[in-house]
């Protein structure tokens, strides 16, 4: 578990405001931003994100349907589209991609928690609320 892991999971679980997440993300180098987006993509896939998560993710992220990450997530297989979103290069698109991937992770992980972890689990990120300030 790294500091990045904690921050991203706190954002996805609503334990940290997105404004702090955007400030943190903007403070990363271009390379660190790319790594973070790829990391988020991986965790969305691991959390079993599905195509149907797209519209709600767009809404939660506060994106317009015409924003590039929003257009991408609604077209094609989710795992491929998440990779395209994580690879966006312009700074303003990266910020939108970050918000969208956090929303996808939030939705997919909440579903996973409800289906597979409701009776308890060993995932450290599912215990953050017990140790993190809100």
With bands split at pLDDT 50, 70 and 90, how would you rate the model's confidence at 126? very low
Whole-angstrom distance, CA of residue 112 vs CA of residue 20: 25
- Least Cα distance to 33 among 20, 46, 24, 45 occurs for 24
Spell out the SS3 assignment of the chain.
CCHHHHHHHHHHCCCCCHHHHHHHHHCCCHHHHHHHHHHHHHHHHHCCCCCCHHHHHHHHHCCCCCCHHHHHHCCCCHHHHHHHHHCCCCHHHHHHHHHHHHHHHHHHHHHHHHHHCCCCCCCHHHHHHHHCCC
Could you tell me the sign of the dihedral formed by the alpha carbons of 52, 53, 56, 57, in that order? negative
pLDDT at position 117 is 66
pLDDT at position 81 is 96
pLDDT at position 116 is 66
pLDDT at position 134 is 40
Mean pLDDT of 52-74: 96
pLDDT at position 5 is 85
- 128 contacts 113 by C-beta, under 8 angstroms: no
pLDDT tens profile 13-41: 998 999 999 999 999 999 999 999 999 99
- 69 contacts 115 by C-beta, under 8 angstroms: no
Domain boundaries, the chain: 3-129
With bands split at pLDDT 50, 70 and 90, how would you rate the model's confidence at 130? very low
123 pLDDT more than 50: no
């Amino acid at each position: 578990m790294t500091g990045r892991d904690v921050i991203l999971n706190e954002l996805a679980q609503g334990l940290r405001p997105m404004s702090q997440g955007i400030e943190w993300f903007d403070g990363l180098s271009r390379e660190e931003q790319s790594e973070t987006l790829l990391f988020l993509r991986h965790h969305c896939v691991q959390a079993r994100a599905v195509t149907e998560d797209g519209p709600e993710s767009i809404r939660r992220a506060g994106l317009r349907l015409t924003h590039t990450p929003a257009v991408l997530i609604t077209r094609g297989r989710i795992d491929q589209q998440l990779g395209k979103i994580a690879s966006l290069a312009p700074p303003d698109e990266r910020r939108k991609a970050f918000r969208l991937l956090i929303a996808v992770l939030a939705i997919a992980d909440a579903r996973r928690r409800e289906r597979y972890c409701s009776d308890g689990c060993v995932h450290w990120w599912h215990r953050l609320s017990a140790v993190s300030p809100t």
